[in-house]
Amino acid sequence: MSRLVPLIFLLLLLSALVGVSASILPVAGTYLLAERTDMQAIRFSARASYFTIKELSRTKPAALKLDVPMIDETYYYEFRLGDAEKPRSLVIGRSDAKWANVLYFDADADNVITRDERVGVAYKYFVTDDGKLDMYISEPIEPLRVKRTYLRADKSSFDKALTLSVEIVVGYQEGAKSAEPMFLAYVAPSTWFYGEVSAGGNRVLKVAILDANKNGLFNEAEKDCLLIDENCDSVFDWDKERQLLGDDLSGLGPDGKRAKLIPAVAAWPQKLSLATKDATPDPSQLEGK
**Chain residues in the site for another protein (CB under 8 A):** 2, 5-6, 8-9, 12-13, 16, 38, 40-41, 97, 99, 101, 120-126, 128, 131, 134, 141, 201-204, 206, 232-235
Rounded least distance, CB 12 to another protein, Å: 6
For residue 197, how far is the Cα from the chain centroid? 20
- Of 48 and 122, the one with the shorter C-beta distance to another protein is 122
Q: What share of the chain is helix, strand, coil (3-state, %, to 5)?
A: 10, 45, 45
**In the complex, least distance from residue 259 CB atom to another protein, rounded to whole angstroms:** 20
What are the b/e assignments for 106-121, b being 16+ CB within 10 Å? bbebebebeeebebeb
In whole angstroms, how close is the CB of 283 to another protein at the nearest point?
Answer: 29
HSE, side-chain direction, 13 A CA sphere, residue 189:
26
> Residue 167 Cβ, how far from another protein at the closest point, in Å?
12
Q: What is the DSSP letter of 260?
A: E
Q: Which is nearer to another protein, 102 or 267 (CB)?
A: 102
Judged by CB, which is closer to another protein: 37, or 213?
Answer: 37
Closer to another protein by CB, 41 or 64: give it.
41
As to burial, measured by CB atoms within 10 angstroms (0-12 exposed, 13-18 middle, 19+ buried), residue 132 is exposed
